[in-house]
Structure 1
């Protein structure tokens, strides 16, 4: 099948690499350095527990490379959903199926408005990182939960054949909110402390911060009509054991001097709390601290007094 990955960072390149390895014609649409490395070395270097090696795959920097694709995995940052969707829209095939593999709870809706066609929201549970341009490391998990969408059965089968655990769910909205709670905990804390999840959660005082963050998120979710399972906090606390070496995407963004998605994570909870009259002081503090790190990155070689 012809498959395009729009916004192929670590997550998009991981899934695109697996699909290419399974024999599909995959095009990764990514930043110039990543594309240049893939072209120079004639493929993506994919490193995982089950496979390490070079995967032949096409790569491009322009959104028009989605032309002819039967399926598009949309993996951009939440901050780029609208602009990337607008760039991609004129080049989409009329019958192309689009999945949103993004953090946050409203990207599929926003992308649907931009494209004027249904977009299936997908919840991503994978630990992956860009070791270097053209080099993706898979650090753990990898499953997907996707909402129903007409015509996506071939992509479900292709992902399964490629080794990706994928589940179709009629309740994907709740799954998106559950993932949002995870992100509101691990993304800012990992970024602020510059720690991977295992050492982070083992640090003194962090578990109480996690509990307070989750409590605020659950209150906002409930006010929106989203009732998450009673073991949500337990699952959040257990995540560190399944991805002990993973640093959050927000931590990776800050390390590269890039803008993070924090406005669509803790920032979203803060805005919804304000709209609904729910206090969210912990989420507000985490959001503020990450934004400060974005605006004032530490100088190279700087040391604390």
Structure 2
């Protein structure tokens, strides 16, 4: 049975009157607590349960356990009186608008952050990726969150479509996740793209049976550490367009460490973030992190580049003030000197770069409109060569 379909508030509760599986950590704390060989739920000793959960909370994910404790107890009691809580006849959690089934493709820095945010409040997604990681770890100012695995690596193992799928891979990896999109999505599935750029719908929709792609703007810096954990260096926040489909994502992330803003002018917000990403590409050309923007020559170059990009953004419908380029430079100067960016991390790792969706798109849109971009015409070929070679 695919237990990830029935996650709720930290516990896997599959089939009242059948076997009930706690959160992985709770299973180890209370082995066999919800298991009954005769197919009937055992009466829980709630005092013992609370004591063991309390001890567990000292060592692991205290906030999640606190949320889960009373919920799990109530679930067990419900089973005693025959309440089924939206389970079908096979004991698998049915999909409802109040409790959408969620999957996530790409447990990198951004994907791990979203997975951890969902897991902490008991909405653990089915996590899909290239490596069968045993768990994901997010470190942030509030401590750490461990998301149990394993990460699924075989699209063929997926037996049913999901209500909501977060796509958290790079724009350069869309072709590679086509089998996952096919396995996870139906015509009714909403795909929320956690990606850079302003072409998310254009890139993903060709791989879907429907056309429900919700773009987003990701506003938080998260980076992979040498021990494979992810360090969230600021408050997690997303911006989404104001559409009917948006409600599903806001509901899924409600009460999590990731806040969600909804805007009627998503074009302007997306292009502002694109300008910020474009300027961050200069870090690749220097091999330096945010501290380089303290140099006057670098900040002047970046400012000229951003002003050039601003003209293109406005031509594409973004409403951005003349102050935006300077505001972006000020943001980089406020960053810790050692703060990097995902495109610099990819360059350091010898991975393909998102140069086209972060920089090339501005040049392409400008050329289509006859707008001169002399600085882009210099920067984009250098980024493309750094990514794709040859040499």
Q: Report the TM-score when normalising by structure 1.
A: 0.85
| Structure 1 residue 219 corresponds to structure 2 residue 311 | yes
User: In the alignment, which residue of structure 1 is the partner of 2:123?
Assistant: 24
* Higher-Rg member (1/2): 2
- Compared with structure 1, are the counterparts of its residues 154 and 296 closer, same or farther at alpha carbon in structure 2 (3 Å cutoff)? closer
CA distance in 1, matches of 2:145, 2:306: 39
> What is the correspondence of 1:233-248 to structure 2 with a 5 Å cutoff?
233-241=325-333, 243-244=335-336, 245-248=338-341
Per the TM alignment, residue 205 of structure 1 is displaced from its structure 2 partner at its CA by 0.5
Is 2:214–2:246's contact at 8 Å kept on the other side of the alignment?
no
Question: Normalization by structure 2: what TM-score?
Answer: 0.68
The within-5 A match list for 1:92-107 is: 92-107=185-200
Is the aligned partner of 1:260 residue 2:260? Answer: no
- The alignment status of 1:273 with 2:366, answered yes or no, reads yes
Instruction: Give CA deviations for 1:65-97 in whole Å, capped at 9, x if unaligned.
Output: 664432111122112335534641343144322
Q: Which residue number in structure 1 is paired with residue 214 of structure 2?
A: 120
2:237 to 128, 135, 143: 143
Provide the C-alpha distance between the structure 2 equivalents of 1:65 and 1:259, rounded to a whole number of angstroms: 29
Aligned to 1:79: 172
Q: Which moved more, 1:19-28 or 1:118-127?
A: 19-28
Structure 1 position 157, deviation (Å): 3.1
1:52 counterpart residue number: 144
Provide closer, same or farther for how the CA distance between residues 79 and 207 of structure 1 changes in structure 2, counting only shifts above 3 A. same
Deviation at 1:7, TM superposition (A): 2.3
> 1:117 and 1:275 mapped to 2: Cα distance?
26
CA distance in 2, matches of 1:265, 1:65: 34
Structure 1 residue 59, shift from structure 2 partner: 1.0
The one-character-per-residue Cα deviations of 1:107-166 (angstroms, maximum 9, x if unpaired) are: 123323432222111100110111147411112232100113435435313323112110
Contact kept, 8 Å, 2:120 with 2:145, in 1: the verdict is: no
Provide the aligned C-alpha RMSD in A: 2.4
Query: Where does structure 2 lack aligned partners over 5 or more consecutive residues?
Result: 1-99
Q: Distance in 1 between matches of 2:227 and 2:164?
A: 24
> In the alignment, is residue 232 of structure 1 matched against residue 331 of structure 2?
no
- Match in the other structure for 2:19: none
What is the alpha-carbon distance in structure 1 between the residues aligned to residue 350 and residue 232 of structure 2? 22
The answer on whether the counterparts of 1:82 and 1:111 sit within 8 Å (CA) in structure 2 is: no
Equivalent residue for 1:173? 267
Q: Which runs of 5+ in 1 are unaligned?
A: 299-305
State how far apart, in whole Å, the 1-side matches of 2:200 and 2:156 are: 21
Deviation at 1:181, TM superposition (A): 0.5
Contact map agreement 1:217 1:269 (CA 8 A) in 2: yes
Distance 1:155 1:267, change over 3 A: closer
Whichever structure has more strand as a proportion of its residues is 1
How far is the alpha carbon of 1:223 from its aligned partner? 2.2
SS in 1 for 2:300: helix
Aligned residue in 2 for 1:13: 112
Which aligned pairs between 1:184-223 and structure 2 lie closer than 5 A?
184-186=278-280, 188-197=281-290, 199-223=291-315
Q: Secondary structure at the match of 1:52?
A: strand
2:229 aligned with 1:130, yes or no?
no
The answer (yes or no) to whether the contact 2:347–2:387 under 8 Å persists in 1 is yes
Distance of aligned partners of 1:87 and 1:44 in 2 relative to their CA distance in 1, 3 Å threshold: closer
Moved more, 82-91 or 6-15: 82-91
Residue 266 of structure 1 deviates from its aligned partner by: 1.3
**Closer, same or farther in 2 for the Cα pair 1:204/1:259, shift >3 Å?**
same
Pairwise mapping of residues 280-295 of structure 1 onto structure 2 (< 5 A)? Answer: 280-295=373-388
- How many Å apart are 1:180 and its aligned residue? 0.7
The alpha-carbon distance between structure 1 residues 126 and 108, as it changes in their structure 2 partners (threshold 3 A), is same
